[in-house]
Structure 1
């Protein structure tokens, strides 16, 4: 199963639309996971129309309309792994320990908020993944998103994609 992870799209505040390269990859994924901060319903509608399956949450910049349509935390079992999706996990210091305590029955936690790509594993085995942002790189050198493969209870082919915008 091929997954695409994105977050912090901030359309139209940071970009007029999602990058075409990302949209093309959405069509190739079995599941798209968005970890919040959409800022507009049109982007949610677009990904719902293009993705085979969309798992998504709202972020701190998402208003009442998006909060009515999306949960704060989403859970899904994919390829034998238990996923959770949340927008914010707090400061980087102590993140693994804090998230492992908050999500004890989770194998993979997808989060956003920082716009900084992140891939680490807690002492409990919880894998933490942040895809960065495809539209607002902030202090990062590139706009980014992640793809990965899930099969038989294992992650593989975790790739951070860098946009050339």
Structure 2
């Protein structure tokens, strides 16, 4: 079994000691952390402690992030194909837009809306950890994926 921490929409300009402490607590046993964009500055990734950290570009990310992060990624983890993307456009229809970005995946991890999302539709897991910064009427949240016989997600309020 593999546990993957998921975070998105941190919207930070620099390292945040309090957030780093909370993330270390919630992600202490993960093998990997996925960041679904809107990191803002690459130094924010230094807060994420895991054997591997994988991130994608968000629409609010700075120049350095834009030069070094792809807009989307596909990962094969524990036999599951996972699409990782930030997302774009208005909140309505976001899931449909990110779905069109990937052909044959078992899960899509995305951000952008700040709205925590965790549901299966036709065998596909749609997972948005929400925003570690909160906002837009949503609490501060991160997520956890568990990959074993199946893939499942959990939203964690921080």
Indicate whether the TM-score tops 0.5. yes
CA distance in structure 1 between the aligned counterparts of 2:20 and 2:46, rounded to whole angstroms = 16
1:6-85 counterparts in 2 under 5 A? 6-12=7-13, 16-17=16-17, 18-47=19-48, 50-85=49-84
How far does residue 86 in structure 1 lie from its aligned partner after superposition? 0.5
Distance 2:33 2:81 in 1: 15
| TM-aligned CA distance change 1:65 to 1:19, over 3 Å | same
SS in 1 for 2:28: helix
Which residue matches 1:138? Answer: 136
- The TM-score with structure 1 as length reference comes to 0.83
Gaps of 5+ in 2: none
Aligned length: 156
Unaligned stretches of 5+ residues in structure 1: none
Distance 1:46 1:144 in 2: 16
- Write the deviation string for residues 76-105 of structure 1: whole angstroms up to 9, x where unpaired: 111111001110154444444444333121
| Distance apart, 1:42 and its partner CA | 1.3
CA RMSD of aligned residues (A): 2.1
TM-score (norm 2): 0.86
